[in-house]
């Protein structure tokens, strides 16, 4: 009888392990309108998180948690922290988190809080790192702004956002994905000079996919 109970326990454990092995690797793509797919024709198929899932294959489940107009700064005019997508990205129990925020933080009403960017980004990294799923966290250097639009500007990206992301990535051991470099000298892929089109989103997806694959 005891031997049968032991055998049953082993079988249950094996079944649980098999189920876990069959589960896809969950990716939460956190970001603003560029992640959401603004400016991309048919974002439901062509936004970068969707293309990312296609590139990585069926072993991955990549979800788009981008929200237009959002900031990384907690005191920004539309903090990502207050969005339902933030909770959803958390509840997804991700194994990987890709954070691409900072573009809207360059607006004049937001950049006045620039001294808090490192603190707030650190807090977001810590939030996801504390999840039971223990995700690997990637920080994206945002794509270039090819003109000043809606207050978004390249100077703010260069002077505040990029150095802050580099600082936090180094302090927290996060992998940087340099989307700024990946989309540099490609103004033709930005119809409104801020949001990449489908071709630009595909380049973003490839850069993210390459980083995830290299980190295995």
The fraction of the chain above a pLDDT of 90, given in percent, is 89
Identify any residues that bridge with 110 across adjacent strands, giving them in sequence order: none
100-136 burial by CB neighbour count: b if 16+ within 10 A, else e? bbbbbbbbeebbebbebbbebbeebbeebeebeeebb
Q: What is the mean pLDDT of the chain?
A: 92
9: its two tokens: 């326990």
pLDDT tens column, 68-113: 999 999 999 999 999 999 999 999 999 999 999 999 999 999 999 9
pLDDT tens column, 127-148: 999 999 999 999 999 999 999 9
Q: What is the pTM of this model?
A: 0.90
Q: What domains are defined for the chain?
A: 24-214 (3.40.50.1110)
């Amino acid at each position: 009888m005891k031997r049968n109970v032991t055998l049953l326990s082993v079988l249950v454990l094996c079944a649980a392990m098999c189920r876990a092995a069959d589960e896809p690797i969950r990716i939460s793509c956190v970001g603003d309108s560029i992640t959401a797919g603004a400016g991309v024709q048919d974002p439901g198929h062509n936004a970068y998180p969707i293309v990312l899932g296609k590139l990585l294959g069926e072993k991955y489940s990549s979800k788009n948690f981008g929200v237009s107009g959002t900031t990384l700064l907690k005191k920004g005019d539309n903090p990502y922290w207050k969005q339902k997508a933030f909770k959803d990205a958390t509840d997804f129990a991700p194994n990987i988190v890709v954070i691409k925020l900072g573009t809207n933080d360059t607006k004049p009403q937001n950049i006045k809080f620039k001294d808090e960017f490192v603190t707030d980004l650190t807090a977001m990294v810590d939030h996801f790192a504390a999840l039971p799923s223990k995700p690997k966290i990637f920080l994206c250097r945002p794509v270039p702004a090819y003109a000043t639009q809606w207050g978004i500007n390249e100077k703010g990206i260069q002077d505040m956002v990029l150095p802050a992301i580099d600082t936090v990535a180094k302090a927290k051991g996060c992998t940087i994905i340099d989307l700024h470099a990946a989309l540099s000298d490609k103004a033709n892929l930005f119809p409104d000079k801020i949001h990449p089109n489908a071709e630009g989103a595909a380049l973003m997806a490839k850069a993210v996919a390459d980083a995830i694959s290299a980190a295995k």
